[in-house]
Structures are given as C-alpha cells and as structure tokens.
Amino acid sequence: MWDNYIKDFSYYIHVEKALSRNTAISYVMDVEKLAGYVEEKEWNKRPWELTHDDLATFVGQCSKKGGLSPRSLSRMVSAIKAFYRYLNVEDYTDLNPAQLLEAPRLPRHLPEVLTIEEVDALIAAVPLGSDEGERNRVILEVLYGCGLRVSELTTMKMSDMFLPDGFIRVRGKGDKERFVPINDRAAKLMEMYINEVRPHVPVKKAYSDTIFLSRRGTSLTRAMIFTIIRRAGEAAGIKKVISPHTLRHSFATHLLQGGADISDIQLMLGHSSISTTEIYTHIDMRRLVEVMESYHPLNKK
C-alpha cells in the first residue's frame, strides 16, 4: 500500500532535495521500517491516517526493542518528518501527524582539535623527495587550509581551481557547490603539484580532471587519506586520535580563536545551519576554561 509513496519519496529526496546518497538511502530505509510496522499491526492505513501517537509508539519501540542509538533514532525522526513534508508538498494530504514528533536529545560531542604547533608538526612530518610525498603534503595543507571534508578533497577537479583569484570550488553534501578561500602557501603548493608532480602519474581517462590521484591514476579513496594522516601523526609524535575531520575542526577552531565571525566560518565549512557551526564556540570556551584553571592564582593555591 505504501510502496508507491515511498518510491516517489525516494526520487523526491534524491533529485529535488539533493540529499546526499547515503542520507537519502537511510531515509528511505527508515520510512520502509515504518511501513513494515504498519503492515505488522494490520492497520491497513495510508500514511496520513496514522496519528502522532502511532508514530511516537513506533519510534519508542525502535528505541527499546530495536536497540537503535540516539543518533539513529534522531535520523529516523528526521526521515519520517521529511516523508510527511513530501506528502504535503505533493498534495496527498494536508495532515501531518509527524509535525510534533520529537527526536531524542543527542549528547554534544566536542571533536578533537590540534594546536597550531601540532598542525605544523603534522605537515612537516610528511616525507618529501617523492611525487607521493609532495602530493601528501599538499593534501594536508589543503584539508587544514580550506577546512574541507575528506569527500570534498577526493572529488576535487582541475576545473575547480581558481588559484590566481585565491579561491577553489568545492562540492559538499547534497552536491551543493561553494567557493572557499585558499591561502597563499596552500595555493602555491597546489600549483606546484598540478604543474610538476601530477603530470608524472599515468592518468586513467575517467579521472583526467581529478586532482589528487593514486599511483594507479585513479582518485584517492577515503581510506587512503586516513592512512596518510595517521602515518604523519605517528611520525610527528602526536598522541591524539586524528582523522581528516580533525583538520577541518582545527581549521574552524583556529579561525574562531583568531577573531573570525562565526557566520563566515559557517559559509566556508558549508554548514546549512549556524547551529552546526556553533559547536566551535563550545570548543573555544573549553580552551578558556583550561587557561583559567591553569593560570588563575586561586586555582594554583
């Protein structure tokens, strides 16, 4: 009974709302679970014939019996809300029983952040003298210098470079494009890599416009980027658990500490909501607390 609604919903969030592939797949699976729950109950109800209590009971059962984490439950609630908004937009119904459905409150996790000295040590730890080493140094410089997600780096194209103007074009979540400033040092290294290093790689035709290439001439994978950073961290003697996202977090935190406006940081990171960017104000406050605890005379006593 729900199959056609779910099929059209899948098209809607993939094409019209341009959600990322993984998010869209997860949303469809969550709505399919709701449809399965309705079928199991033998309710013979169309989506808009469910009540708020029906939906709340379903989410509650997923929490208790399904063993879903708060984050998975929160995504499920978002999926159900998106499904009913779609039904409203497409004029299937004016009713929206999911409107007041509440997601579980997620604990706010403060990500690991490197100091400026640790970032410098990380980049300096990359062994140079080879095409691979030169490429890896540029990767770290650009991840930190532009605050990129790892997926944004691996999909970056030659045609996205506007280095003389000090910008690069980035394709973020949902294939949304934005322009991000690139600092002079990172821009010069990028230009050197493109002109002097990349030409040595035997590029496969499908990747002729891809900037960062593996030795086989294909685009780098996420796992490769993680390995590059892990090895550099070990060589630099950094004890923190670091990943590509650590450099993104460090980029935003250092900008905020330097006095940048949070709305500008939001634009550079490609966050759709300012609330996502506000986590960096918490990181900065944590640093201030540590400073107070370390240096305030009453704490010393």
Same domain, 37 and 173: no
Q: Name the domain count of the chain.
A: 2
The reported pLDDT for the residue numbered 175 is: 78
Same domain, 151 and 65: no
Mean pLDDT for all residues in the chain: 88
275 has pLDDT over 80: no
Strand boundaries in 106-265, DSSP class E: 161-162, 167-171, 177-181
Which one of 37, 71, 89 terminates a domain?
89
pLDDT in tens, 78-110: 999 999 999 999 999 999 999 989 877 756 666
256 has pLDDT over 90: no
The reported pLDDT for the residue numbered 282 is: 64
User: Residues with catalytic annotation?
Assistant: 149, 173, 245, 248, 271, 280
Same domain, 52 and 120: no
Q: Is residue 54 part of a domain?
A: yes
Same domain, 76 and 146: no
Q: pLDDT category, 247, cuts 50, 70, 90?
A: very high
pLDDT in tens, 30-59: 999 999 999 999 888 999 999 999 999 999
**Contact in structure between 75 and 26 (CB atoms under 8 Å):** yes
Q: Is residue 101 part of a domain?
A: no
Range of the domain at 185: 116-293
**Contact in structure between 28 and 21 (CB atoms under 8 Å):** no
* pTM, full prediction: 0.63
Same domain, 76 and 131: no
Same domain, 133 and 279: yes
| Residues 6, 201: Cα–Cα separation, whole Å | 45
Same domain, 270 and 173: yes
Q: Is residue 107 part of a domain?
A: no
| Residue 213 DSSP class | B
Q: Is residue 17 part of a domain?
A: yes
The reported pLDDT for the residue numbered 107 is: 60
Same domain, 130 and 224: yes
Question: Buried b vs exposed e over 221-233: b needs ≥16 C-beta within 10 Å?
Answer: eeebbeebbeebb
Q: Is residue 150 part of a domain?
A: yes
Same domain, 67 and 120: no
The reported pLDDT for the residue numbered 65 is: 75
The reported pLDDT for the residue numbered 185 is: 92
Q: What is the CATH number of the domain that holds 18?
A: 1.10.150.130
Same domain, 128 and 223: yes
Q: Is residue 25 part of a domain?
A: yes
Q: Is 230 helix (H, G, I), strand (E, B) or coil?
A: helix
Same domain, 54 and 128: no
Q: Is residue 147 part of a domain?
A: yes
Same domain, 134 and 277: yes
Q: Is 167 helix (H, G, I), strand (E, B) or coil?
A: strand
289 has pLDDT over 60: no
**Contact in structure between 81 and 52 (CB atoms under 8 Å):** no
Q: pLDDT category, 197, cuts 50, 70, 90?
A: very high
Q: pLDDT category, 270, cuts 50, 70, 90?
A: confident
